[in-house]
Amino acid sequence: MFSLRRTTALFTLLAASLVVSACADIPNSPQAKADYDTTNDPLEGFNRVVFDVNDFLDRLLIRPIAELYRATVPPPIRDRVTDILSNMREPVIFANNVMQGEFNRAGVTAERFAINTTIGIGGSFDWANDWKMYQQVGDFGQTLYSWGVGPGPYLVLPLLGPYNARDAVGYGVDSAMSPWQYLANDGGSQTYWDYQYVSTGMDGVTKREQNIEGLDALRKGSLDFYAQMRSVYRQYRDKQLGVKGTDQAPKFEDYE
């Protein structure tokens, strides 16, 4: 049985493969080559169509749901949901820390998970953060970067938004690595699908709620919202990877 995340992961891997193959036609002229290297967006026409569809769905459905969530759920409850979802990401972060050879970070991640799962009541409270053990960055896109894999071209995925080919593959692998779907499957089909719908929906809603003002400001202040989002994504990702950028990007609480 395929889960929502497995289906998304499969689509992501296929889409990334198609984009990589589309990069064969690199411009020859110096100016065109410079523009190509700056944007690395050979499928811009396709990406803009997907971006416009995503933006339409966001205005029509996703943002209103996020506003409703903020209006009806008290901040303390929203914090608990955020902490639980954050704690559920720790096993994948730990695995990627190990694959990157970042054993100190892996140790911090393991400590965080142990503390927050026990004392934090299943991750409902992030006591580790209060004790200055902050959540580490660790995903398979970052792991591929540490192994010397280049980013590949820019890609906008349906509903998921901005990625590059390397991070799209990374998202698919991370989705398959998450242990919770397999534990839910042991509880039977109904438990499995309840987990898929609730976890995927709540993860998306919480992230969108946290970025309501930031995305509104970015959209309002952009002459080209697509190009601005492309720039923001790259700056945010470079910061996670420790790559020095040249521009300052708007701050987002949890951009994904």
* CA separation for the pair 39, 22 (Å, rounded): 15
pTM of the model: 0.82
pLDDT of residue 170: 96
Phi, psi dihedrals of residue 155, rounded to the nearest 5° = -150, 135
Nearest Cα residue to 88 out of 190, 177, 205: 177
Higher-scoring residue by pLDDT: 14, 154:
154
Higher-scoring residue by pLDDT: 81, 196:
81
Question: What are the residue ranges spanned by the domains of the chain?
Answer: 4-22+42-209
Q: Do 23 and 152 form a contact (C-beta atoms < 8 A)?
A: yes
**Is the pLDDT assigned to residue 137 strictly greater than 60?**
yes
Q: Do 140 and 178 form a contact (C-beta atoms < 8 A)?
A: no
Spell out where 127-185 has E strands: 154-157, 161-164
**Is the pLDDT assigned to residue 10 strictly greater than 70?**
no
- Over the chain, what is the mean pLDDT? 86
pLDDT of residue 249: 46
Please give the structure tokens belonging to residue 12: 């992501």
pLDDT of residue 24: 42
Rg of the Cα atoms in the chain: 19
pLDDT more than 70, % of the chain: 80
Spell out where the chain has E strands: 154-157, 161-164
Number of residues assigned to the chain: 256
Please give the structure tokens belonging to residue 157: 């995925």
* CA separation for the pair 110, 91 (Å, rounded): 8
Q: Do 82 and 206 form a contact (C-beta atoms < 8 A)?
A: yes
**116-120, 187-191, 212-216 — which is least confidently predicted?**
187-191
Q: Under DSSP, is residue 164 helix (H, G, I), strand (E, B) or coil?
A: strand
Tens of pLDDT, residue by residue over 201-242, are: 999 999 999 999 999 999 999 999 999 999 999 999 999 998
Which residue pairs, CB below 8 angstroms and at least 24 apart, start in 208-212?
Answer: 208/58, 208/62, 208/63, 208/65, 208/66, 209/66, 209/67, 209/69, 209/70, 209/78, 210/82, 210/252, 210/253, 210/254, 211/252, 211/253, 211/254, 211/255, 212/63, 212/66, 212/67, 212/70
pLDDT of residue 40: 85
Residue appearing with tokens 């609730």: 198
pLDDT of residue 1: 41
How far is the CA of 64 from the CAs of 74, 94, 150, in angstroms?
Answer: 17, 34, 37
